[in-house]
Amino acid sequence: MAVNRRIVLARRPVGRPRPEDFRLEEVPVPRPGPGEVLVRNLWLSLDPYMRGRMGEGRSYARPVELGEVMVGGTVGQVVEANAPGITAGSFVVGRGGWQEWSVLPAGELRTVDPQAAPLSTALGVLGMPGLTAHVGLRDIARPKPGETLVVAAATGPVGGTVGQLARLAGARVVGIAGGPEKCRLAVERLGFPICLDHRAPDLPGRLRAACPDGIDVYWENVGGGVLEAVLPLLNDFARVPVCGLVAWYNATEPPPGPDRLPALLRLVLTRRLLVQGFIVSDRPEGDFRAEVGALVRDGRLAWLEDVREGLEAAPTALAGLLEGENRGKLLIRLAPLPTA
């Protein structure tokens, strides 16, 4: 009988996730019930939101239970379809989790064409992260030509797409990333006109110099010291889509004072800021697939991937992601792409 290797949550992490917080299990490959599909997973997406699901606090989605398979987006190939309209051999994207095989309801899968774009992009620029960039720009950030947009995690799949889409919309884009290598990648591979290293000294001064007209959109991916450098530069009517706060995800207690909450709200008032949290799944896709799909097809939108091999690489890779160790979209290759 075929074996499914899977990783479950063994313990709720305190601070940075450790290997002991996860457990690799071998179980029989499950069989699809009516309306379900058995998928051989090829790619697993690792994303910062997963840290939130490992805690038991209230978030926008229920936590992963102890002993439950870790959640995650996957691309795979249908092996057995017990549902109409979907055939064995086709490729699908869904929420298969941290495992090599998944049984999923057919209605929760989307088929992808491996000829149109590499399959892994269904988890990146053409998947959840790309859609996040698209809807946040469309609904909240709304950059206008000539405005200045600052985005951190500039080599990540959200930040990188935000920067490129905003440039195409005519905005002045300033990227921020951790370390000189990522900054170089953002400029050379993703076309950022400038990318600042938030680990080098005097980010506030360098950011001020890079934004002579202030900041009209700050795309919040990270929180932490980047936010601190951004706040004094925000223009009247600036928009701050709050998409992620990865710098704080491992925090175990509130940082020491002074309490900056009152100062933040005074800034919101006096500069008439719009600060809005959003989650991609709350919002309609609109013309995302048509628009971003065409940009990918025409080579006008680039992306970076950081691929790790094998399911067992996932725990360490996720811990590293939360500390910015990845270079682009972090993916686990669960199995080689089958040859036709």
Selected from 31, 266, 297, 300, the binder of a second copy by CB under 8 A is 266
Which listed residue (108, 282, 309, 323) binds a second copy by CB under 8 A? Answer: 282
Single residue of 262, 284, 299, 336 touching a second copy by CB under 8 A: 262
Give dist(CA 150, CA 162) in Å, integer.
9
Helix extents (H) in 150-197: 157-168, 180-188
Task: For residue 253, state whether it binds a second copy (rule: CB under 8 A).
Answer: yes
Q: Which of 34, 58, 212, 252 binds a second copy (CB under 8 A)?
A: 58
Cα–Cα distance between 322 and 47 in angstroms, integer? 9
84 binds a second copy (CB under 8 A): no
How far from each other are the two terminal CA atoms of the chain, in whole angstroms? 24
14 counts as binding a second copy under rule CB under 8 A: no
The nearer residue to a second copy, 181 or 259, going by C-beta atoms, is: 259
Least distance CB 258 / a second copy (angstroms): 4
Contacts of a second copy in 103-162 (CB under 8 A): none
Q: CB 11: neighbour CB atoms within 10 A?
A: 13
Query: For a second copy, which is the closer residue by CB, 13 or 94?
Result: 13
Q: How many CB atoms sit inside 10 A of residue 241's CB?
A: 26
Please compute, for residue 228, the number of CA atoms within 13 A of its CA located in the half-sphere on the CB side: 9
**Any contact of residue 298 with a second copy (CB under 8 A)?**
no
Q: Smaller CB distance to a second copy: residue 276 or 316? A: 276
- State yes or no: residue 256 binds a second copy (CB under 8 A): yes
Q: Is 284 in the site for a second copy (CB under 8 A)?
A: no
- In whole angstroms, the minimum distance from the beta carbon of 28 to a second copy comes to 36
272 contacts a second copy (rule: CB under 8 A):
yes
* Identity of the residue, 6 or 239, whose beta carbon is nearer to a second copy in the bound complex: 239
Nearest to 151 by CA among 51, 67, 227, 247: 227
Stretch that binds a second copy, among 77-85, 91-99, 197-205, 258-266 (CB under 8 A): 258-266
Confirm or reject binding of residue 243 to a second copy (CB under 8 A): yes
Among 10, 66, 194, 268, binds a second copy (CB under 8 A): 268
Percent of the chain that is helix, strand, coil (3-state, to 5): 30, 25, 40
Candidates 11, 18, 30, 59; binder of a second copy (CB under 8 A) is: 59
Q: Using CB atoms within 10 A of its CB, is residue 99 exposed (0-12), middle (13-18) or buried (19+)?
A: buried
Count how many residues are written for the chain.
340
Give the DSSP per-residue string, 230-289.
HGGGEEEEEEEEE---GGGTT--SPPPSS--HHHHHHHHHHTT-EEEE--GGGS--TTHH
In single-letter form, the type of residue at position 225 comes to: G
Cβ of residue 266: shortest distance to a second copy, in angstroms?
6
Q: Of 17-25, 72-80, 176-184, 274-282, which part binds a second copy (CB under 8 A)?
A: 274-282
- From residue 198 to residue 237, the character string flagging contacts with a second copy as x (rule: CB under 8 A) and all else as - is ----------------------x--x---x--------xx
Q: Is 245 in the site for a second copy (CB under 8 A)?
A: yes
Q: How far apart are CA 315 and CA 173, in angstroms?
A: 33
Interface with a second copy by CB under 8 A: which range of 66-74, 81-89, 184-192, 277-285? 277-285
Q: Do β-strands 172-177 and 305-309 pair in parallel, antiparallel, or remain unpaired?
A: unpaired
The helix (run of H) or strand (run of E) holding residue 321 is helix 314-321
The residues with which 207 forms a beta bridge, in sequence order, are: none
List residues binding a second copy (CB under 8 A): 52, 58-60, 220, 223, 227, 236-237, 242-245, 248, 251, 253-279, 282
